[in-house]
Amino acid sequence: MRTLATFGLILLLPAVATAQTAATPTPATSGTAPYRLGSGDKLQIAVYGEQELTGEQLVGPDGSVTLPLIGRVAAAGRTAAQVSEDIRTRLADGFVQNPSVAVTIVAYRPFYILGEVNSPGQYEYAQGMTVLSAVARAGGFTYRAKKGEVFVKREGDPREYRVQVTNDLLIQPGDTIRVGERYF
């Protein structure tokens, strides 16, 4: 077995890789990297003592959220803690005296599943979701499905990776999973 790092996560790969994955990193099976926000994530932004500045915000297609007084705040590619600190710093710059800001994720952006599943489409992501739980959410495999491997495309990565299905193969919000057809 060998390991490759991708997106700050570690993946164990078989010694023999397909031509499609031989020289490239692949989706990870586990890891502890902090979650990076993206377009479609719903955030709860709380500015303590400032009810007008508190509420839910959707990370827009441009990767930002918009708040009263300070305008757009970049969110995509950053952690909730980084966004919280940015908002706190900008509010402290003449708008709110000693602000206390908390940013939490209310809902993750969806994942997509297509191919040989009973109900392909867009589904709500849940933290810790695996490929098998994603397939279950899509109604399970069809009778034609190749159940031993799937193709995963990470959001923002133009490549699609062929990976072996295991019980601990994690997916991320924004992933596209394609279940191929088996050949008899």
Give the pairing of strands 71-74 and 64-67: antiparallel
Domain limits, the chain: 2-30+109-179, 42-107
CATH fold for the domain made of 42-107: wza like fold (3.30.1950)
Alpha-carbon distance of 149 to 164, in angstroms, equals: 4
Topology of 2-30+109-179 in CATH?
Outer membrane lipoprotein wza fold like (3.10.560)
Say how far apart CA 162 and CA 151 lie, in whole Å.
Answer: 4
Residues 6+ positions from 152 with CB-CB distance below 8 Å: 26, 27, 131, 160, 161, 163, 171, 175, 176, 177, 178
How many C-beta neighbours within 10 Å does residue 174 have? 20
Q: What is the pLDDT of residues 8-18, one digit of tens each?
A: 433 433 332 33
Give the tens place of pLDDT for each residue, 42-72. 999 999 999 999 999 999 999 999 999 999 9
Question: What's the rounded mean pLDDT across residues 93-107?
Answer: 94
Q: How many CA atoms lie within 13 A of 45 on its CB side?
A: 28
Query: What does the pLDDT look like over 120-151, one tens digit per residue?
Result: 999 999 989 999 999 999 999 999 999 999 99
Residue 72 to residue 68: CA distance in whole angstroms: 9
The reply to whether 42-107 shares the fold of 2-30+109-179 is no
Percentages (nearest 5) of helix, strand, coil residues in the chain: 10, 35, 55
Residues 98, 162 contacting (CB under 8 angstroms): no
pLDDT beyond 80 at 169: yes
Q: Tokens 């397909």 label which residue?
A: 18
CA distance 172 to 153: 10
Residues ≥6 apart with Cβ < 8 Å to 85: 101
